[in-house]
């Protein structure tokens, strides 16, 4: 268990005096991720994790250049002596940057390993914290745990006796810290649904082990390749039919951060739905798009209503070739399309759960 550091002023940026495009070599400036790993290879890897110093300030500045919401943490590794963790702090908008950072990392060695998200830390529940003047013995944390297998989510309430004396403003942050220590940052995003700090102890009171068991049940049920059929109505009462990869989460593919909505039109029946013949053509269109974009992107859902079929696709915002391939495909098949950043897949969350 440890605390994260965040850049607090521009004075900690080691490149503050460099002009635009100035890499110091006469060539093009490296990307922020490249600049970080260049510095790390030459200097950063020699820092002392137990002692703050100029290298820590350099870490602040270099990571802020990648994304200002990234935080970092130095701790013991699983297979190496030390681990450098760079975290988005639960923010979907920053998680792609952390993933791109770790994908560019050098191979782990005996001294250093790297992680793009906070990992579970069972030892944290043996610690005693001082929070806003109150003593918080984490061994006294208890949970309410409710499993929703249909949504593949676990709803969690977190209680600590100290909540009764702590101000409400710290209940939420402490609750999410507990969940990160229990499951790890990515599994919180992957599995946890509703979250509630509980001033009163739940009955029955559950443990972190119970939370792990509930998550394991959801994981056993999940298949990211299975498409689920969903139905509903528009506000006007017209039928809506959707197909979605309900087992898939944005955190399973964190660099696929751009949403494409491609709209095909067809001659509908009286309900606004396709005839069997038209449905066959639409299914062929779905298959064609999947063959064109995967595995560089993902088709995650289709929605059919009122003479339109919308195909929802995600690609990597730094992969211009994938975006171009979708544009060419849409033009070839006569589809209209929109594109916008959406790291947390908010445009399809109602479909995926």
- 94 and 147 together in one domain: no
- 194 and 179 together in one domain: yes
Task: Assign 26 a pLDDT band (cuts: 50, 70, 90).
Answer: low
pLDDT in tens, 131-144: 988 899 999 999 99
Average confidence (pLDDT) over 186-199 = 97
Which residue has better confidence, 240 or 1?
Answer: 240
CA distance 105 to 40: 9
Task: Assign 353 a pLDDT band (cuts: 50, 70, 90).
Answer: confident
- 46 and 131 together in one domain: no
322 in a structural domain = yes
- Predicted confidence at residue 24, as pLDDT, reads 46
- 151 and 85 together in one domain: no
- 130 and 90 together in one domain: no
- 147 and 72 together in one domain: no
* Domain final position from 54, 86, 115: 115
- Predicted confidence at residue 198, as pLDDT, reads 98
Average confidence (pLDDT) over 194-206 = 97
Residue 205 clears pLDDT 50, i.e. is over it: yes
- 236 and 290 together in one domain: yes
* Domain final position from 160, 190, 221: 221
- 161 and 263 together in one domain: no
Residue 250 clears pLDDT 90, i.e. is over it: yes
Q: Is this structure's pTM higher than 0.95?
A: no
5 in a structural domain = no
- 196 and 270 together in one domain: no
272 in a structural domain = yes
- Predicted confidence at residue 29, as pLDDT, reads 75
- 99 and 170 together in one domain: no
2 in a structural domain = no
3 in a structural domain = no
DSSP-based three-state secondary structure for 200: coil
- 213 and 326 together in one domain: no
CA distance 300 to 291: 13
Percent of the chain with pLDDT over 90: 88
- 208 and 127 together in one domain: yes
Task: Assign 336 a pLDDT band (cuts: 50, 70, 90).
Answer: very high
* Domain final position from 88, 115, 142: 115
- Predicted confidence at residue 134, as pLDDT, reads 87
Mean pLDDT computed over every residue of the chain: 91
pLDDT in tens, 261-314: 999 999 999 999 999 999 999 999 999 999 999 999 999 999 999 999 999 999
- Predicted confidence at residue 109, as pLDDT, reads 97
DSSP-based three-state secondary structure for 305: strand
Residue 53 clears pLDDT 80, i.e. is over it: yes
CA distance 343 to 94: 8
CA distance 101 to 32: 9
Percent of the chain with pLDDT over 70: 92
- Predicted confidence at residue 27, as pLDDT, reads 61
4 in a structural domain = no
Residue 159 clears pLDDT 80, i.e. is over it: yes
330 in a structural domain = yes
265 in a structural domain = yes
Q: Into how many domains does the chain fold? A: 3
For 95, residues 6+ apart whose C-beta sits below 8 A from its C-beta are: 88, 116, 117, 189, 251, 254, 343
For 93, residues 6+ apart whose C-beta sits below 8 A from its C-beta are: 69, 343, 344
- Residue 86: which domain range? 10-115
CA distance 95 to 189: 11
The per-residue DSSP string of 100-130 comes to HHHHTSPPP-SSEEEESSPPP-GGGGG-EEE
CATH number at residue 348: 3.30.70
- Predicted confidence at residue 274, as pLDDT, reads 96
- Predicted confidence at residue 52, as pLDDT, reads 86
């Amino acid at each position: 268990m440890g605390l994260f550091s965040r850049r607090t002023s521009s004075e900690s940026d080691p490149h503050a005096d460099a002009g635009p495009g100035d890499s110091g070599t006469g060539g093009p400036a490296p990307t922020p991720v490249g600049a970080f790993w260049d510095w790390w290879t030459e200097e950063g890897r020699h820092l002392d994790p137990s002692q703050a110093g100029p290298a820590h300030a350099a870490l602040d500045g270099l990571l802020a250049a990648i994304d200002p919401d990234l935080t970092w943490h130095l701790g013991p590794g699983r297979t190496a002596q030390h681990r450098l963790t760079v975290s988005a702090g639960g923010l979907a908008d920053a998680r792609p940057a952390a993933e791109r950072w770790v994908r560019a990392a050098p191979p782990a060695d005996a001294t250093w390993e790297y992680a793009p998200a906070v990992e579970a830390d069972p030892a944290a529940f043996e610690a005693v914290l001082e929070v806003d003047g109150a003593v918080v013995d984490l061994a006294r944390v208890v949970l309410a745990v409710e499993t929703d297998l249909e949504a593949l989510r676990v709803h969690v309430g977190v209680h600590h006796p100290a909540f009764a004396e702590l101000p409400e403003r710290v209940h939420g942050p402490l609750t999410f810290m507990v969940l990160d220590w229990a499951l790890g940052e990515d599994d919180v995003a992957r599995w946890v649904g509703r979250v509630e700090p509980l001033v009163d102890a739940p009955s029955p009171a559950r443990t972190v082990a119970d939370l792990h068991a509930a998550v394991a049940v959801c994981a056993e049920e999940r298949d990211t390749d299975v498409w689920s059929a969903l139905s509903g109505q528009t506000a006007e009462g017209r039928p809506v039919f959707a197909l979605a990869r309900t087992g898939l989460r944005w955190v399973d593919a964190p660099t696929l951060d751009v949403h494409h909505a491609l709209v095909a039109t067809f001659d509908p029946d009286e309900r606004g739905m396709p005839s069997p013949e038209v449905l066959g053509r639409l299914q062929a269109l779905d298959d064609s798009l999947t063959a064109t974009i995967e595995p560089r992107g993902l088709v995650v859902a289709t929605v059919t209503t009122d003479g339109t079929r919308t195909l929802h696709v995600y690609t990597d915002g730094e992969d211009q070739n994938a975006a171009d391939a979708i544009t060419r495909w849409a033009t070839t098949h006569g589809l209209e399309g929109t594109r916008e950043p959406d790291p947390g897949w908010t445009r399809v969350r109602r479909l995926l759960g």
